[in-house]
Structure 1
């Protein structure tokens, strides 16, 4: 981080800073997909549907974990940009404790209410048993997931974005190997996928914790200092990221409810494949904003607005190019991507392939919405960021599922993501124009607002 901060920004230096986050998110997307791939191929269609039915619990957990990590890291990065390293260290130490406590509380609540949660999700019969097998193990990984997410964000803030790859390479390798062993030779079924996730999460925490304890870092653990206002600010500032993650779980719940009525278990399993592909492809955008957000926060804190505008220029090019590439991948290679999960000739394959092709439209639009949400978080404007995230990931998606799904069946379900992205894009452009003078950035060409 210090090199790109101390000298003029070039494309090479900028790319060097952001590519680890992009690659890291792609890896996360890949090994999230690995669970589904192994379950689909080694356990079966109903187990794949159970993963989708159980996802709302995991999505809400990730929402709270990311809220703490994203909200606090932006505040700490601004403190570092202002030159207040001691204040940054105090806040970093405090949020680590808060994250651990939050993870333990979330785990305890889920374990205590596990049967009620499974009933609420609507799972029945064999799928219900698969859900119980999966969640009863997965829930134990929540404290590690909270702390691992925090370490990943703060390692980037500390100026070592490449090291975030070490976190997820190490955790991902363990996860992948155990997925194969536990669901393959060991024959543990869907429960094996949960144990693999638990082991991978623990490895990430050990590697991330080792970084801050052993390595020479800017951010250091110091004497704990209570700051309730900071904790509250973290919740508010990270609320958009929470909405993005948690909304995926909430919308999955509504989606599954409609799918069970329209096409049954096979529809739930088919759309779970589509959403796995969707997450993998948008992980490029998620990783990009995770990489660039600390730079925006730092230079905004340092009042170096010119560099922020350079980052915006690079961002517009990146978003357009990657959006087109993602859409083309779905249209041209969709069949081969779906074949990783399911062989051609089945109803499950046909549903997943149709959904993947419709997905290409949404992928052309989502990049700017994802960037906008993270962009305003980087400025510490949690409410606007949350509004954008809530629109695309929650409100408009649920409206699309309930309205389009009930009116047009599976075609309406396929178009839900496009509906959400189009409506949110209008809001995104309005917010960009409204706050350009407040934060001294330039986004739109023409009328003195060009880069």
Structure 2
């Protein structure tokens, strides 16, 4: 099996193979919404940006649910494979698949019958904005099963030794979304409805591509009749919970920021934040790609008690995350005007100014966010959900909520932009403590290859 190959290959080559391919996969996911943002901004205008940003937390909820089930179950699958066990992996996949479909059906029904109340709950005001937000939500949530099951398949195909196919699936669906966003929004004039339709169809294409893993009979997991095990389902949920919190917390942050910014700068402020938040999601996706890329490598080596390789993989992930975070910050610092103008086809001066200021301050947080996300994924990869959950909770809501209201009260809109950098810095300090305690407890250094208790 590929899991044996992971143990026998050079750890650095394995790291770059899995991480590079997974970063591209996660970029595919993040570009779903960024493509919508670009085409809606230029084809619908500022009101479309407001509606899209108000609906974004629901996308985070759907995608986070897929990551919870997909990452949680695929991690347990890899750990079992590292121990040389195969049967538990089949059982885990079947239970996870049924859980994914069930969650997708519930969200789909909510989208059909509750799209308007959800739009109003998210802060949409005025009939025009409420109607556009509800339209986007209805179409997006109709495809909930596709989003969630696709995340499950991507995680299992990647962890089953085929990260290249997982990448092709995500990038193929991303390209489809970009092309049909343009077709639906401009030539067909379908507006925000067309943007949501293109986004919803995209994961279906990804699943069709991923089916090649089964057609070629390269899979070590499949659906079969199993007896549900409550403890195993619980382990899936708890192991995947940090990934869910990382994703869904973005939605919580966007929701809270929308409410606060609406009171300070109105609809244009929300539109500006929509641009900043969607660009930030692309950067977060890159960091998540690093975290998910190291997951199968860390899980298999941890299952085989090769802690030296576990440490090497973690350090490589942290180093790469920091280098990329520095590049993201420099881009926002050096080219804020050029970036903001891409989403400001109406040459709205207030939108331009607010977006530029937001980019230069908000992106400071990425100097720490990448390391925080990789550390969260590391602990989840070794089935240690407690520190992983704590880190996710700190940067997801425990620090963000009080900092948002405190800093916005003190500094207005500037305080809103300062919230994320302050939150990520404080979380980073906690990460240093957690990781130092873990490796000290197991007395691991780069020269060790076994687990010492």
TM-score, normalised with respect to structure 2: 0.93
- Asked if 1:326 is matched to 2:328, the reply is yes
**Which stretch shows the higher mean deviation, 68-77 or 140-149?**
68-77
Stretch of structure 1 that moved more, 422-431 or 35-44: 422-431
Structure 1 distance, partners of 2:24, 2:328, is: 15
Per the TM alignment, residue 326 of structure 1 is displaced from its structure 2 partner at its CA by 1.6
Aligned pairs for 1:29-428 within 5 A:
29-125=30-126, 126-343=128-345, 346-428=349-431
SS of match in other structure, 1:330: helix
Q: CA RMSD, aligned part only? A: 1.8
TM superposition shift of 1:206:
2.5
How far apart are residue 4 of structure 1 and its match?
Answer: 4.7
Deviation at 1:319, TM superposition (A): 2.5
The SS at the match of 1:122 is: coil
Q: Check conservation: 1:239, 1:383, Cα contact below 8 A.
A: no
Pairwise CA distance, 1:3: 7.1
Deviation (angstroms), 1:116: 2.2
Q: Which string of whole-angstrom CA distances, capped at 9 and with x for unpartnered residues, describes residues 172-214 of structure 1? A: 1221121011110111110101110111022122222443354
Aligned to 2:449: none
Structure 2 equivalent of residue 14 of structure 1:
15
More moved, 141-150 vs 419-428: 419-428
Which deviations, in whole Å up to 9, do the C-alpha atoms of 1:307-342 show, x marking residues without a partner?
112212322321232222121111112322222212
Show the counterpart of 1:447.
Answer: none
Is contact 1:4–1:14 with CA below 8 Å preserved after alignment?
A: no
Give 1:100 shift: 1.1
Residue matched to 1:28 = 29
The answer to whether the 8 Å contact 1:289/1:371 transfers is yes
Moved more, 60-69 or 183-192: 60-69
The structure 2 residue matched to 1:432, chosen from 432, 435, 453, is 435
Extract unaligned runs of 5+ from structure 1: 444-451
How far apart, CA to CA, are the structure 2 residues paired with 1:167 and 1:368?
Answer: 27
> 2: distance between equivalents of 1:400 and 1:264?
21
SS in 2 for 1:92: helix
Any idea what SS the aligned residue of 1:365 has?
A: helix
Structure 2 portions without partners, runs of 5+: 447-453
Cα distance, 1:148 vs structure 2: 0.3
Would you say the 8 A contact 1:21–1:161 is kept in 2?
yes
Check 1:439–1:274 CA distance in 2 against 1; reply closer, same or farther (3 A cut).
farther
TM-score by length of 1: 0.94
Q: Residues 251 and 397 of structure 1 are in contact (CA less than 8 Å); yes or no, is this contact kept in structure 2?
A: yes
Deviation at 1:442, TM superposition (A): 4.9
Q: In the aligned structure 1, how far is the partner of 2:174 from the partner of 2:442?
A: 38
TM-aligned CA distance change 1:184 to 1:441, over 3 Å = farther
Query: Could you tell me whether the CA contact under 8 Å between 1:237 and 1:383 is conserved in 2?
Result: no
